[in-house]
A and B are shown apart, each in its own frame.
Chain A
Amino acid sequence: MNPVSLDPIVSQMTANLRDRNLRNPILIGIHTGGAWVAERLHAELALSSKLGTLDISFYRDDFSRVGLNPKVKSSDLPEGVEDRNIILVDDVLHTGRTIRAALNEIFSYGRPASVTLAVALERPGRELPIEASIVGKAIEPADKQQAQVTLKDNQLSYQLVDSSANAQST
């Protein structure tokens, strides 16, 4: 399939987030796709708080099986999370394991007032009791397909691709 633009999906998420009326929220995007989506949301929502990013590599539950992600980036939460309303953003919600890891990491920085999960795409296949409050679009890829979010020439889009044998679960 051809890449599909995420722009209308992000606008939809923005509208839904506005409806929630969160007091002085901070946006945190999960590397790499979630950080891209969060950046768009941050601009559309015109938040005064700084955008945060998380790399959950050190919190993954498959470290002893697959080892460390060789391209681990630093997490950056410039605002601090204590008593704040957090909007946690990821590109694709699938097994829920990434979100579990992200929640653990956020709590190592402090105790937020609330965490709202916002994802651009969700697909079936949950392995943990985790659901998103804000969903841009629900998709149903075939078993061996993976939703891949890309940022190219400032175009944020997604496409369904055949997952490689060693793809990490999202």
Chain B
Amino acid sequence: MARISPDQLRSLPPDSAIQFDSQGHLRHFLTISGVPREALTQILDTAESFMTFGEREIKKVPLLRGKTVVNLFFEASTRTRTTFELAAKRLSADVINMNAARMSTSKGETILDTVRTLEAMHTDLFVVRDSASGASHLIARHLPEYVRVINAGDGRHAHPTQAMLDMFTIRQKKGGFEGLKVAIIGDILHSRVARSQIHALATLGVDEIRVIGPRTLIPTEIESMGVTVTSNMSEGLRDIDVVMMLRLQRERMDGQLVPSEQEYFSQYGLTEEKLQVADTKAIVMHPGPINRGLEIASSVADGDRSVILSQVTNGIAVRMSIMATLMGGTEAVR
């Protein structure tokens, strides 16, 4: 597998360096930040080979046979957990789903106690979602070296596997990243997806990343990530190749950050009309679940440009690829 050099490793910030072992192999997948282009490309290439599995009589490969994967979700999620579960099962792993919000943590047990208990049952890989940023990092730091951790979304921080399935979908539909103009639209401030997408797009070398949304939903420091910011849709969508919508959480609709649903849709909701200035072959993406009529019109979500369902399908292959990448060559460590 692709590995990073000792020099590269030393230059990484600690929250990215923790993902690599001393040989430079990717061992956890917590953030896209700091993962080199070759490693991301290899994950996409491997996912490509997993794409054909849907058509097999037996949709499984034995790569993770005998391994135990725990989906540890401290925050509710159906879609992400289901695709992780399916991905792990197609790799022949045994899978345990823990909706921990309703279990031990509510009895006062800390996250680390829960994890250590599960580790004592010889878990090989944790898939972690939590509403607090840094939860998967915390877990990765406290587990023995042979246990792997995948971040399935932590607070506002990162959602690296979502970003990777988005990258896979872009490459599948556009053939590559060079020369592409990409817009990310909506609630950037609260979005872990947007942060991971920006890191991935920048690493893979798109031409331009634009961020579009109301000023109240765009973090002030975002330009330092190499993006251009606008709150004008027709300006931001001009000649765009890829439109990445974000989900607007309705709980933000209290009038503080966003005026009203109607007002938001008329200004930032993606419609056929607003897309007229985009490239004629532009694609539209959304991580789901969709708020129809709030951030995106139904006619666009179900229209010719939409690749939303491809994203869901691709999510399984991409998560298989990430799990296989992390779990390969683990025997020597034990």
Contact = CB atoms under 8 A, between A and B. Distances in A.
Nearest to B321: A68
A109 B56 contact: yes
B57 interface: yes
A73 B49 contact: yes
A76 interface: yes
Chain A: interface secondary structure?
Answer: loop
A146 B1 CA distance: 23
B328 A67 contact: yes
Nearest to B42: A70
A108 B58 contact: yes
Contacts of A71: 45
Contacts of A110: 57
A88 B254 CA distance: 65
A21 interface: no
B331 interface: yes
- Among A55, A57, A76, the one with the most B-chain Cβ atoms within 10 Å of its Cβ is A57
Contact of A68 (B51, B56, B62, B325): B325
Contacts of B331: 64-65
A55 B52 CA distance: 12
A74 B55 CA distance: 12
B63 interface: yes
Nearest to A75: B52
- Say which size band chain B's interface belongs to: 20 to 34
A72 interface: yes
Interface string A65-108: 11110111111100000100000000000000000000010011
B329 A59 contact: no
B208 interface: no
Contact of A108 (B48, B57, B327): B57
A107 B327 CA distance: 24
Contacts of A55: 49
Contact of A67 (B1, B56, B57, B58): B1
A59 B1 contact: no
Given A55-B49, A75-B52, A66 B57 contact: no
Contacts of B1: 67-68, 70
B56 A108 contact: yes
A82 B45 CA distance: 29
Contacts of A67: 1, 25, 325, 328-329
A169 B62 CA distance: 19
B46 A68 contact: yes
Contacts of B309: none
A65 B329 contact: yes
Interface string A106-141: 011110000000000000000000000000000000
B98 interface: no
B60 interface: yes
B92 to A, nearest CB: 10
B300 interface: no
Contacts of A108: 56-58, 60-61
A67 to B, nearest CB: 3
B22 to A, nearest CB: 16
B294 to A, nearest CB: 39
Interface string A12-26: 000000000000000
A58 B329 contact: no
A66 B58 contact: no
Nearest to B329: A67
B303 to A, nearest CB: 30
Nearest to B61: A58
B45 A72 contact: yes
For A65, A67, A72, A109, the residue with the greatest tally of chain B CB atoms inside 10 Å of its CB is A67
Contact of B63 (A63, A73, A107): A63
B2 interface: yes
B330 interface: yes
A66 B328 contact: yes
The 9 A-B pairs at the shortest CB distance, nearest first, are namely: A67-B328, A67-B329, A58-B61, A108-B58, A64-B331, A68-B328, A74-B49, A110-B57, A72-B49
Given A59-B62, A82-B57, 14 more contacts: A63-B63, A63-B328, A65-B329, A66-B329, A67-B1, A67-B328, A68-B63, A70-B46, A74-B49, A104-B62, A107-B58, A108-B60, A109-B56, A109-B58
